[in-house]
Structure 1
Amino acid sequence: MALTGLQLIRQREQQIKSNDHSDDVYIDALLAGAKGKIAETLKYFRDHYAVDGVLSVSEMRSNVNNDDYELWQDFIQRYGPRLMKDEAASYRLKSAKQQAGIDREHLLGSMVAISIAYAALGVNDYNGQTLMNEAIQSMRFQNKFMRTRGNMPQDTSELVETGAIKLINAATQGLSIEDRVWLRTDALRDQVTATFDRAFQVGLDDAYYQSHLFKESSKSNNSASKHFKSANGYLANSLLRDKKAGVAALAGAIVAEQNSLNVGYWYNVEDGHVCEQCIQLTNASPYSSHDIPGAPHNGCRCFVVYYKI
């Protein structure tokens, strides 16, 4: 049984919310993998070099030995081949290699950098696929909605895909979405390294490890978990969501232009997180298809439904 126009709109609302949730879960899993590997690596140094249960600066600024070198080689074998295939990642791998042999603290810092760079690559791969999917979903929704009104949509697949690729790769203030991912994950690397340095300064024992470094609910600046959570919020709920809104709007506009749809109705996703600006834009509908408002804020989840009148 064919869905009505209103049912399609409700379905699109749920699709947007579900996609956003998937983004948050997937990117969090990528970062959690890096965090887990970093925690495992730090535990190696605690288990091998702590004195009376405390790991301090003096132990970490000692020269690396054969066991440390083997640990490093395992890292390179695991992450190196993938990192070498990407220009930005290979630069970070090279920088990490240059620092790794100075002492144990630098070796740990290099492993932090490599773990996070590997996660950043995963985020960029995911973003590219997700943004194209969002453009296609937006186009298909508009096409299905047209059919509920007895109209046969033009084939806009090639135009939408070409436009989406251009928008995905476009720079804003000189930075692409990939550049912004690298900037944020580089900041995460520096934050985590700084938390470890502070831990070694005061003496890293089990209590500090559990209550400061890797306690999920900690709000302390000495919490690695807090920094990972903050990075996930930016990457999934700000950066990616904003770009998704752009490609979805572009796809809808292409369908409207190619099918001479001249009116657009603004819809929000009708949950408790919809802001007052978006409610006002919904209430002010309809708009001329040539005068559709832009997203009023970063991370907007609203969408436009086009009609022919």
Structure 2
Amino acid sequence: MRIDPQIRALRGDPASQRLAQEELVAACDSWRSGAGAEALADLQRYGEGQPLDECPALKTLLNDQAAAFAWLAPLLDAGLESLTRNPLGQFPMRHQYSDGVAMIQLGLSGRAALTLIAYDELQQSPKSASFSAGERHELVLSGVGDFRFVDLLEERANSAAIDQRVRRLVAGETLSCDGATQTRVLERVHGRMVMLRLARTDAAQSDTRQYSLEDGRLLHRASGNRLESQREMATALLGRMGRSDAAPLLAELTREGSAHIRWQSLRECLGLDTATGFAALTQIAADASDELSSPASALRAQLLEAYPQLASLEAIPCPA
């Protein structure tokens, strides 16, 4: 294995690696307490629920290209100088690069995040758009991009009426959207484009819905609650692993949480243990006050029609 001389040198001198990282951390801390302080204080208030109009320093960044450049310059200059001297250092802000998109999270407070995003040249034909409650404000710092703006006009059980239009944005332009009914999808970047994005989730989290841009079909629905999303992934994993021993627990979980996560728990329970799952399904269907009673009754009727032998399971008490 070939080990780069610079990496070998760092392995032989851990102190130099620590000092290099401390220099990068100091550069970011200096910016946070200096040039970046006022807007970051506003970000904290905004993350706690204050309107953007009551956060003047933060609002200025999202509406004034020159002000945004002046605010970012001390951080980027100090960071690049430090990285030039310490090329193997890690920039001490959350960052990532994937498929031509680079991101640096400049600040995170409460429900709000401020992010610097750079797009390399790209051209794509989006097939779907997702909507989730929250608000987003963006400023194009440099470059040119074509965006598809999508408005959710009406939601039905498994589809939606959607309005679409394509618009080109250039440096200095801004855009804002209410994520529950509005979104935008990037279709093309001419060269390279850099944007400053401010996003805040709603205090009352709701489901994220993904619709087909071609016909408005509902493609996917996911919980907007992080804990419920984790639970949904865990239950799906149990199902894929065939863990039938988890069926009693999943039956209990059909009584807890939002309608979406309860239904997902029921589906996985049915797949892992028919008797346990069908008993839980019958219990839900029998409770007229339960918001899932109607779909549970419909599913129970479909299953009994397809598999009459399930009727013999109704005498088995639900473990939940």
TM bin (shorter chain):
under 0.3
Q: Could you say which structure has the higher helix fraction? A: 1
Q: How high is the TM-score relative to the length of structure 2? A: 0.26
Q: Could you say which structure has the higher strand fraction? A: 2
Q: How high is the TM-score relative to the length of structure 1? A: 0.26
